[in-house]
Amino acid sequence: MAVEPRSAVGSALLSETRDAVSVSQNRSPDGTCRSTATVCTDETCEPLYVEQQTPNTCVCSVLDAFDCVYSIDAVEHGNLVVTVTLEDRHQLSALIERLTDSGASVTLRHLTTFSDDSTTTTTELETSTITAKQWEAIELAVELDYYEQPRGVTLAELADRLEISVSAVSQRLTAVESTVIPALVDQS
């Protein structure tokens, strides 16, 4: 996922650079954030070390509050590129909501599911084009069994829950489906 924090509570690393690779970051219990990264220009690559006291609403603080494994992989155009491993997709929704509540913008770039069952196929889907509103609609649809047979909820009921028109919820679901289904077929 790409996370663009609110400037005032972003990341120690973002205060020094808009682009970096080979990122390593940790946050001590006292709120000190330490980052090392490699910053490259056209000619050279230089190491960068940043240490900063950060508020509880910084990206690392939010990630630390979840039972997850994460790594900050890079900084691209002022966005932290973060890989997060969570136990289930409900945690993903809560994490995105918490990051958004802190003032950050979140874009999911890839979504990969894993299973302990060796007969299960792992699929990676590109999700960067799915908007937050589309994500909200599709998660609610799945949660309320819209895709089950028989359906657990109608489009009208989804629209009521999302407080939008039936046409709008239909468009959001269709947009996600038109992104995910072709990608799924391409991978099989």
* Domain ranges, ordered by start, for the chain: 1-107, 129-188
Alpha-carbon distance of 143 to 139, in angstroms, equals 6
User: Is the CA virtual torsion 135, 141, 142, 146 positive or negative?
Assistant: negative
Kindly tell me if the per-residue pLDDT of 135 is higher than 70.
yes
pTM of the predicted model, to two decimals? 0.56
- Is 108 a residue whose pLDDT tops 50? yes
3-state secondary structure (DSSP) of residue 74: strand
**Torsion of the alpha carbons at 171, 133, 73 and 77, rounded to the nearest 10:** 90
- The residue that leads in pLDDT, 173 or 27, is 173
Q: Tens of pLDDT along 152-166?
A: 999 999 999 999 999
Residues 6+ apart with CB under 8 A from 15: 50, 52
